[in-house]
Amino acid sequence: MNTAAPSQPFPCGRVDRRAFLADMGMGFGGLALGAMLQGAGINRAMAGTAAGLPHLAPKAKSVIWLFMLGGTSHVESFDPKPALNKHAGKTFEETPFNDAVINSPFYRKNVRDFTGKPRDMMPKVYPLQVGYQPRGQSGIEISDWWPHVGSCADDLAVVRSMWTTDNDHAAQLQFHTGHHIFDGSYPSIGSWVHYGLGTLNANLPQFVVLGGGPNECCGGGGAHGASYLGPEHAAVKMSVDPRNPLAFGSPAAPMYVAERRAQIDLLNDLNGIAGAAYPNDAELRARIKSYELAFRMQMSVPGTLDIGGEAKHITDSYGLDQPATEPFGRMCLLARRMVERGVRFVQVYHDGWDAHSKLKENHGRNCRAVDQPIGALLKDLKQRGLLDETLVVWGTEFGRTPGAEKSDGRDHHPYGFSIWMAGGGVKGGIAHGATDELGFHAVENRHYITDLHATVLHQLGLDSRRLEIPGQKRLELDYGNVIREVLA
C-alpha cells in the first residue's frame, strides 16, 4: 500500500506523467540526434527522396567546384578564335560577320549608341594574346596559358556555349544561384547538394569553401549561402591553416581531447535537463547539435588540413614548392583530401581575373598560379581512382569581349563563354556547344547556368525538379536542363 505523505506522491523513482513524457521526448530527440551524427540521410528525406536514397543512381559522390572570380577570357582559354587575329584592328562593321553581332543589344549598348556614334568601349577587334593548340588525342584546342590542364584534355568535357544575363560582377552570384542579384536571395548550388544528400562523413562539414569568395557588391556569401534552405545548409568557410582552420572553431586554450569531450558531455547533460522542461525548444536542439559538430570538427578538420604526410612528389606536383603556385596548389590539394574523406562539395575560389587592361599580363600571371595545381588535381584524383566518383567543375562568371577595352584589355562578356567538367560520369575529350567566329554569342547548344546546376545534381543522383520547398515558387529556368550530351 502506498503510505507516502501527500507531499511525496511518487516515491521510489516514480515520476508524474508530464515529466515522463518530457523525458521520453528528449530520449527520442537524442536518438534522432545520434542518427544524424552517424550520417543518416535526414536531408535527403526532406528533399523528397525515400529511405535515405537519392532520386537517381548517382554517378558521383562529391564535387570540387573551381571558380575564377573576375571573368576569365574564353577566347584565351578554352575557346580560341583565330578570326580575332585575322580581323584585329578592324571595327566590327568592317568584319564580314552578320548583323547578329552588330545589331545585338550588347553591341548597341557598349560599342555604338543608338545614333550610331562610337563609344569608347571595345570599338575594335582585339587579337588573341596567346597561342593555342590541339590537346590530347581528342584534339580539343586549348590556350598555351593552360598546358597542365591541356595535358588532361582527354578527361575534359568543355562546354563553349554558356550564357548569363548579369554584365557586372554580381554574375558571380548568378553563376552559383541561377538568379540575378536584383531577384532577391536564393540557394546556391552547393547548398542544394547539401540539402539533398546525407553526409558521407559526420565528422566533417559537407559543404566547404576555400579561398574567400565574392565581395559584398558581387553577392558576397550568397554565392555559397543557403537562403531559404536555412543556414545549416550553407558552406563552412575554412582557412588552409591546420592550426586554426575555422573561425572560432578552436578551444580558447590548449587542452586534451578527453578534457574537451568532458566539456561537451557536461554541456549536453545541462542542455538535456533544460530540454526535459522545454522539449519543443528548437534553439536548444540546434545548440546541442552545434556543440557536437564543433567538437567533432575540432578533432577531424586539423588532420584533414595537415599535409605533412603527403609525399614530396605530390606536393611538388601541385606547385607547393613555388611561390606563384603554392596558394592555389595548397587549396587544390586540400580539396582532394576533403573529398577523399567524404566532404560532398568543395568550392574553391581564385580572384583577380578582371582584365579591363593589360590582359596579357593579368591572365598570364593568373594562369601560372592555377594551371599547374588544377592539372595536378585532375591527375592525382585519377591516379587514386577518385576521379570517377568526383565531379570537377571549372567555371568563371562570364567571358571577355572580342573587342579591345583601353587598348589592351577586354570587358565583361556574358553572351557566350566556356566552362568544363571532368570525372564524375561525364565524357572526356569533347567540346560541346559553340560561340560564333568571333566568340561573341553562344550560337550552338546554348546553356544558361542552371543547366550546369541540373547536370551536377543529376550526376549526384538528384533531380532538380524534385527538390521542392513548400512555399517557395521556382521558375522553369531555375531547374535547368541536364546537359546530356556531355554524360558518359
**Cell numbers of 202, please?**
559526420
**More reliable by pLDDT, 242 or 466:** 466
Alpha-carbon distance 345 to 174, whole Å?
Answer: 18
Is residue 213 domain-resident? yes
Contact 412, 70 (CB under 8 A): no
Please name which of 477, 461, 485 lies closest in space to residue 192, comparing C-alpha atoms. 461
3-state secondary structure of 229: helix
Of 82-91, 269-278, 298-307, 421-430, which has the strongest mean pLDDT?
Answer: 421-430
Neighbour-count burial of 300, counting CB atoms closer than 10 A to its CB (0-12 exposed, 13-18 middle, 19+ buried): middle
DSSP state for residue 317 in the 8-state scheme:
H
Contact 325, 318 (CB under 8 A): yes
Q: What is the CA radius of gyration of the chain?
A: 26
Within 10 angstroms of residue 310's Cβ, the number of other Cβ atoms is 16
Note the pLDDT of residue 414: 93
Note the pLDDT of residue 33: 37
Contact 175, 21 (CB under 8 A): no
Please, which pLDDT band fits residue 280 given cuts at 50, 70 and 90?
low
Alpha-carbon distance 171 to 177, whole Å?
Answer: 10
User: Which residues lie closer than 8 Å to 6 by C-beta, 6 or more apart?
Assistant: none
Chain segment 356-399, per-residue pLDDT in tens: 999 999 999 999 999 999 999 999 999 999 999 999 999 999 99
Q: Minimum mean pLDDT among 117-121, 296-300, 307-311, 379-383: which range?
A: 117-121
Q: Look at the block and give the residue holding cell 578564335.
A: 81
Contact 343, 61 (CB under 8 A): no
Please name which of 47, 35, 62 lies closest in space to residue 339, comparing C-alpha atoms. 62
Please report, for the domain that includes residue 316, its CATH number: 3.40.720
Average pLDDT over residues 326-336: 98
Is residue 274 domain-resident? no
Is residue 426 domain-resident? yes
User: Where in the sequence is the domain holding 205, given as residue range(s)?
Assistant: 58-242+306-486
**Cell numbers of 13, please?**
523513482
Q: Minimum mean pLDDT among 20-29, 128-137, 167-176, 426-435: which range?
A: 20-29
Is residue 205 domain-resident? yes
The β-bridge relationship of strands 62-68 and 345-350 is parallel
Please name which of 191, 159, 161 lies closest in space to residue 176, comparing C-alpha atoms. 191
Chain segment 185-231, per-residue pLDDT in tens: 999 999 999 999 988 988 888 999 999 899 888 999 999 999 999 98
**More reliable by pLDDT, 410 or 245:** 410
Contact 143, 130 (CB under 8 A): yes
DSSP state for residue 119 in the 8-state scheme:
P
Note the pLDDT of residue 409: 96
Supply the mean pLDDT for the chain.
83
Is residue 29 domain-resident? no
Q: Look at the block and give the residue holding cell 607547393.
A: 320
- φ and ψ at residue 303, rounded to 5 degrees: -65, -35
Is residue 275 domain-resident? no
Alpha-carbon distance 227 to 367, whole Å?
Answer: 33
Q: Minimum mean pLDDT among 26-40, 105-119, 267-281: which range?
A: 26-40
Per-residue buried b or exposed e for 130-167, using 16+ beta carbons within 10 Å of the residue's own CB: bebeebbebebbbbebbebbbbbbebbbbbbbbbbebb
3-state secondary structure of 100: helix
Number of domains the chain contains:
1
Chain segment 438-465, per-residue pLDDT in tens: 999 999 999 999 999 999 999 999 999 9
pTM of the full structure: 0.82
Contact 405, 121 (CB under 8 A): yes
Is residue 7 domain-resident? no
Strand partners of residue 62: 390
Note the pLDDT of residue 23: 45
Alpha-carbon distance 445 to 482, whole Å?
Answer: 12
Is residue 344 domain-resident? yes
Q: Look at the block and give the residue holding cell 606547385.
A: 319
Residue 279's alpha-carbon distances to 26, 287, 298, in angstroms, are 6, 13, 28
Within 10 angstroms of residue 291's Cβ, the number of other Cβ atoms is 16
Amino acid (one-letter) located at 96: P
Alpha-carbon distance 35 to 33, whole Å?
Answer: 5
Q: Look at the block and give the residue holding cell 589592351.
A: 408
User: Which residues lie closer than 8 Å to 455 by C-beta, 6 or more apart?
Assistant: 421, 480, 482, 483, 486, 487
Alpha-carbon distance 97 to 438, whole Å?
Answer: 8
